[in-house]
Structure 1
């Protein structure tokens, strides 16, 4: 709302958070989607590349339009970071502000082993869910701003429309406490968490049938957060959901994100070595008790785009779709129909 007026175009990835769809409903902005690289073997989407951003800007120019802003999700839930330095350079050459959904990156830049923050790479706005990796209370977050491409007064007015006039001082105090915790020991505060993540990666890599998401799983991989560990279990004949159930019920390991072929773990300031040992014990149990399946052939060919979403035509704006009359149908009966939200559509496709 601070960058896009009704009818303006917002460039954003197709795997954006549902809140980005809601923002377009509220602002009346029109989407120009970028399809991120996708690995079918892992069932994981990567980031977006500078060349994709440049192509999107050029395509809009050919249509006589200019993007009001670019939204990037970096890092993704799996910790995959886009090359924000080059992306910001491209966008700023066109006076296009860059907004970064950095919900999972409030800790970036606070250790030499961590990727750089989006602000340090030139982003104009960065939204961070401080509670996800740092130690503030749930629901607390921060909006960071720099530069002059975005109107500060318009941001303030937009926040007044969306936020409560009675803020929670518990949440505000927890944000300040998290900030103070970082500032007091910013050079070493993540040493233990990163050491434990590296130890876990080393131990898990030796377990038969277990895969770890690493470079160069995606050709567009720029950086990855070492505190996010995505573990593949398809060679064991298990889905991520089945593995998660066993790890949670039998070993007390709670996964951050669960997928069809893998699950993701988040290491943070509260992670202890006992947690790593329980995780490794659980994975060894899965390896010893599961039936191995044949490895995926031609692995290099498994990286591709969301092919099933490449040819989807946008029939109406997100705002029009939200207010349109709609009905619920089965997945089979939805073929050929207009789906209200791309976010919903992606989940429907992965259920097929």
Structure 2
């Protein structure tokens, strides 16, 4: 494991960083990870952006702090009711120097914070404190009912712990629906649901779409969602939508860097057409969203496989961010 390898080299990691839950609600076993980290005297930092609600109901996974994390960063606005851009940093234990954290925050934060955001954070905290165990009961039941109904539709799949045996815990307020059996991409299904039912998903991907239930969800929303999924299925079986082409697999395991990102970022650039850039050194960050993971970064050698993936994602409706040409007809590369 990485910690032991570093210790064999006479080094010690500053911290272990984990993202849990993911955008789809998949949770890591933070209890075991924190025990392992602490046995080596290493703090555990958790990006818990989508988990500010965890731990407030018996049917929900425990929060990162409840599982032993030393630092947890939460985007309180994502599922709870604070204003957009408001978030919280939580600390526990003695492995992390609190004074150093406070000093870093004073260095990085604005001297003119938004008191609207701060007030909304306090309002969200107060809302939870009034009924911490029952406030999510209705949302949880609606999410369960929706999953059971949609799971029973032929050709439709629902992400659950059975499909992810290595990650048995999933946020019950996240619903990820797959349309692969209908030969539809997530982008195509999302377009049908928006155009015909005005349903806006939380996250769309190449083969699925994800929805988030929260304290503002009502039965009318769930009924419309179920109707929209049924409509997608009927539309596909009637042949009213084009069948998706096979997806190009993500190339993240196969890459080579020619420059470190900093040198590539500051290097002189030239623009090259998409047809002539294979083998060049990428000069910009190219990131299809969703899923929001960069396919190429400055300093990385451009490969045909990476280009195929990017063009496939763009063709299916993904937004290409980071690049100066969002149409992806050209790419900035480093001058040799």
Normalised-by-shorter TM-score class: 0.7 to 0.9
> Does the C-alpha gap of structure 1 residues 248 and 126 become closer, same or farther in structure 2, counting only changes over 3 Å?
same
**CA deviation vs aligned residue, 1:186-216 (integer Å, no higher than 9, x gap):** 0100000000000001110121111101123
List aligned pairs for 1:115-264, cutoff 5 A.
115-264=61-210
Q: Does 1:80 align with 2:26?
A: yes
CA 1:206/1:157 → structure 2, altered by over 3 Å: closer, same or farther? same
Change (3 A) 1:260 1:320: same
Deviations 1:157-176 (A, max 9, x none): 22122211101000000000
2:162–2:168 Cα contact (<8 Å) kept: no
- Name the structure 2 match of 1:344: 294
Residues 234-313 of structure 1 aligned to structure 2 (within 5 Å): 234-291=180-237, 308-313=251-256
Measure the CA separation in 2 of the matches of 1:328 and 1:68: 39
The structure with the largest helix share of the pair is 1
Shift of 1:323: 3.9
User: CA separation in 2, counterparts of 1:96 and 1:328?
Assistant: 44
Shift of 1:325: 4.3
Instruction: After superposition, give the CA deviation of every residue in 1:213-241 in whole Å (9 maximum; x if it has no partner).
Output: 11232342131001000000122221111
- The structure having more radius of gyration, on CA atoms, is 2
From the superposition, tell whether residues 316 and 115 of structure 1 become closer, same or farther in structure 2 (CA, over 3 Å). farther
- What is the alpha-carbon distance in structure 2 between the residues aligned to residue 221 and residue 126 of structure 1? 20
Q: Is the 8 A contact 1:236 1:292 kept in 2?
A: no
Give 3-state SS (helix, strand or coil) of 1:175's partner: helix
CA distance in 1, matches of 2:2, 2:152: 42
Q: Secondary structure at the match of 1:290?
A: helix
Does the C-alpha gap of structure 1 residues 157 and 246 become closer, same or farther in structure 2, counting only changes over 3 Å?
same
Gaps of 5+ in 1: 1-54, 294-305
| Matched residue, 2:44 | 98
Change (3 A) 1:111 1:314: farther
CA root-mean-square deviation: 2.4
The count of corresponding residues between Structure 1 and Structure 2 is 286
- Cα separation, partners in 2 of 1:101 and 1:321, compared to 1, 3 Å: farther
**Structure 2 unaligned runs (5+)?**
240-248, 288-292, 298-305, 313-336
